[in-house]
Amino acid sequence: MFILILDYLFEKECRLMKIETVDLHGLSISEALEKVEKNLNWCIKNGVVVLDINHGKGYHSSRNFSVVKKEVRKMLKENDFLRENSYIVIYGESDLPVALTFDEGHTLVVAKGFENKYIGGQKKVEKNLAVFSKEGMKKRKAQKRINAQKRSSRSWKY
């Protein structure tokens, strides 16, 4: 009975996590900032838990780095409206559970308290819990040691 209640609560929490995405590829800095501001206001007013801002990594920029990423992150850092509404900014390259499926081409705006939640369906969340838990990390390290020993014990003859 206890396990059924936990499963129910787990599924309910996964379904209730509203996630929105805004893509800034191909926009100028001013267009991107305006689009982020509009989407941010809408998301906060409508109870969105995670706003995924996809600004890209800057590979196609003439300056060889993401100018849009830099300006968006600067704007978010200075945004009092986020703090007043209990939202935090998490970079896609972060090790926090909410950011595990993202990279440096993304910036997340997350409702406080959800930064340690995994994004995805129940199976994906269960997998992430197993892989990134302390026990999962111990298993991965042990497997890496075994693989390293196997590689070092091989003798290459030519």
The pLDDT value recorded for residue 10 is: 42
The pLDDT value recorded for residue 104 is: 87
Sequential DSSP letters for 71-127: HHHHHHHT-HHHHHTTEEEEETT--SGGGTT--TTEEEEEETT-TTSPPS-HHHHHH
The pLDDT value recorded for residue 53 is: 95
Q: What are the residue ranges in the chain where pLDDT is below 70?
A: 1-16, 61-64, 120-125, 128-129, 132, 154-158
The pLDDT value recorded for residue 101 is: 80
pTM across the whole model: 0.66
CA atoms of 117 and 52, how far apart (whole Å): 15
The pLDDT value recorded for residue 19 is: 86
The pLDDT value recorded for residue 15 is: 46
The pLDDT value recorded for residue 140 is: 79
CA atoms of 136 and 126, how far apart (whole Å): 12
